[in-house]
Structure 1
Amino acid sequence: MDELLGRDGGMAFYWVNVGKTIKEVQSGNFLWAPEASQSETGASTRREHWENVAKVKAGDVIFCYHEKQITDIAIATRDAYSAERPATRSFSEWGNTGNRVDVELRELKTPIHRDDIASDFISLYQQRSVPNLFNREGRINQIYMARLLPDAAAYLLERAHLIEEFETKLVDQEPSKRKLAETTREAIVKARVGQGLFRAELLRVWNSQCSLTGLSNPDLLIASHIHAWTLSNNDQRIDADNGLLLAPHIDRLFDRGLISFDDHGGLLISTSLAQKDRELLALDRYTKLRHISAENREYMKLHRDRHGFKPA
């Protein structure tokens, strides 16, 4: 799971519910959680959401949630370390020893409200956050810190209008024996928004037509990654085999995991998409990709797995 969550030497991402400790976080620039809680009988209980604090490394990004909003983004300035409970924490059931992370805070100009992201987050990222953030009512679970996948973090950074500031870090964080040429880095960054060489190559491969519908107006075609840019390595981010050329509504359905494709290019439709909507979108008219390569299939399996499409 650590490899899946991005702890391969690169930047990792977390969500922390700071609650009533927000002033302490803002004035002291640190986060703290106990190692365990103590019962009246002396029994010790460890919690996954506390243990996440000990895993934070310098440079990791932490979304700080307070009063139904993400109000700040914290960057860890050093690896987590063992520290005694702050004097301001008086909860008797907590042990005296815990883990602390020193951070640099950045206050968001426009906080991200829980209700504005709940639906998207639950459908796209909830099952891959450790532990789960939201409950069935769309409220935040009573946990301290959750680990996020890079795509969930990118979604939140986009909502905060900060993705451009972090995309270079996402590119440069990948362990590599070779230094990226500036032209390659530029191509990787542009590929995130379906531009540059990635788009040009997809236009060539698909003859400037939508991979599913055949729409041939270039101004309407979107260069879409099969395996999400944020989950891909740098080679995969600019690999045309990891892309489809899609009409806007098909791109949206594919990006949201409401459709996918099988190994033969056959259209798969999520049970989350209502029959009426399927009919309005005329999905019965387009049942198969115009072609699919062996390399496409490898990426498509990752897309199906990510969005919960079961093998036939």
Structure 2
Amino acid sequence: MNSYIVMQGETYREEKRLGIVRAPKKDKSGATPHSWERVNSLQKGDRTFHYVRGALVAVGTIQEDARVQSEGTPQAEWLAPCEYLELDTPLEIASCIKVVADYLPLKYSAFQPDGNGNSGYVFPCNESLALVFLELLSSSKWRNIEQLEFVYDAVREEKYNSLTAWMMDSEYLLRLKFRELKSQFKALQLERWENKCAICGLDNLALLKAVYSKAWKDSNDAERIDPANGVLLCANHAALYESGQISFTGAGTLRMSAELQPLAGRYGLKKNLRIAADEANIPYFRWHRNNFFIEE
């Protein structure tokens, strides 16, 4: 299951009435905007958050995989049937942008830093962001995963004709996806780095963490379980990597922020230390350095 933000504006009422999400295959210049083409990625069971004039006004579930309609004509479009559930109280994005901002991807974000929407139609909504939306929207407090698992089968038997059922089911599936992909990722990192911190060699499994080079919110599902997209580090070094205070070159050479360099010895670090990186790590290490590393 994937989640998406649908920026509808004036098209909202008509698309809700028809129970669809739709976008032309070409714009007036003959180009295909990424936010239109993304309609073609919608699959049965995907979740949607519908944005109109500054606020989320509805949520939805895609009922069938997207299809092409009127192929070979100027009216060709991508279309996916969608069941809409309107919110009793719209969620104004500007009012919660400080909470939401940390979960927005660097590329293809639906929202600007001030909470205004970006131009486009369908944008990806990573699982972290979707869970934040659910928390902001929720009037019930289904925060315990064991409770969700207990009621899950009963909820699944219902048609999504209530917002509560939709939110419970969506949260369960989002957390399940998180758990499964991160478990796979950690297992791959343990194997890749031979159950030891890549920097200091610590081999206490309880203190090891598989950390992403390209953040979860910016990665697709394949990248989230790519062994090259991360490093196995002890708790201290993982915290430094995740906070951008250390990074690596494509060859695996350690880089430290200017602030950290005088304290390097305290953390068992030294200039030009190298980890056992390989060629597959290069694009991910580059992403981390370019987008997250605090400069030397």
TM-score by length of 2: 0.56
Counterpart of 2:51 in structure 1 is: 65
Distance in 1 of aligned mates of 2:78 and 2:287 = 32
- What are structure 1's unaligned runs of at least 5 residues? 1-10, 39-43, 84-94, 171-185
In the TM superposition, residue 244 of structure 1 has moved relative to its aligned partner by 3.0
Counterpart of 1:126 in structure 2 is: 106
CA contact 2:7–2:122 (8 Å) conserved in 1? yes
Q: Deviations over 1:63-122 (max 9, x none)?
A: 433434485254351324337xxxxxxxxxxx987543212457899968444222442x
Distance in 1 of aligned mates of 2:235 and 2:85 = 34
CA contact 1:168–1:189 (8 Å) conserved in 2? no
CA contact 2:67–2:79 (8 Å) conserved in 1? yes
Counterpart of 2:145 in structure 1 is: none
Residue 234 of structure 2 corresponds to residue 244 of structure 1: no
Percent identical among aligned pairs is 21
Counterpart of 1:141 in structure 2 is: 118
- The amino acid that maps onto 2:79 is R
In the TM superposition, residue 32 of structure 1 has moved relative to its aligned partner by 3.1
Residue 255 of structure 2 corresponds to residue 268 of structure 1: yes
- The amino acid that maps onto 2:100 is I
Counterpart of 1:51 in structure 2 is: 36
Counterpart of 1:153 in structure 2 is: 126
Distance in 1 of aligned mates of 2:115 and 2:36 = 24
1:25-44 paired onto structure 2 within 5 Å: 25-26=15-16, 28-33=18-23
- Residue 100 (structure 1) aligned to one of 74, 79, 82: 79
> 1:307 aligns to what SS in structure 2?
helix
> 1:117 aligns to what SS in structure 2?
helix
Distance in 1 of aligned mates of 2:41 and 2:175 = 20
The answer to which structure has the higher helix fraction is 2
> 1:300 aligns to what SS in structure 2?
helix
> 2:127 aligns to what SS in structure 1?
helix
In the TM superposition, residue 257 of structure 1 has moved relative to its aligned partner by 5.6
Counterpart of 1:181 in structure 2 is: none
Change (3 A) 1:220 1:51: same
> 1:265 aligns to what SS in structure 2?
coil
CA contact 1:262–1:268 (8 Å) conserved in 2? yes
How many residues align structurally? 243
Change (3 A) 1:251 1:26: farther
CA contact 2:253–2:273 (8 Å) conserved in 1? no
In the TM superposition, residue 17 of structure 1 has moved relative to its aligned partner by 1.0
RMSD between superposed Cα atoms in Å: 4.9
Change (3 A) 1:305 1:75: farther
- What are structure 2's unaligned runs of at least 5 residues? 136-169, 292-296
TM-score by length of 1: 0.54
Change (3 A) 1:55 1:143: same
- Residue 304 (structure 1) aligned to one of 271, 285, 290: 285
Change (3 A) 1:53 1:279: closer
- The amino acid that maps onto 1:251 is A
- The amino acid that maps onto 2:37 is N
CA contact 1:31–1:103 (8 Å) conserved in 2? yes
Distance in 1 of aligned mates of 2:261 and 2:248 = 18
Change (3 A) 1:304 1:199: closer
Distance in 2 of aligned mates of 1:50 and 1:189 = 28
CA contact 2:254–2:273 (8 Å) conserved in 1? no
Residue 225 of structure 2 corresponds to residue 221 of structure 1: no
CA contact 1:119–1:138 (8 Å) conserved in 2? no
In the TM superposition, residue 222 of structure 1 has moved relative to its aligned partner by 1.5
Q: Deviations over 1:127-176 (max 9, x none)?
A: 3x2xx534464532132223x4xxx6233245347576258779xxxxxx
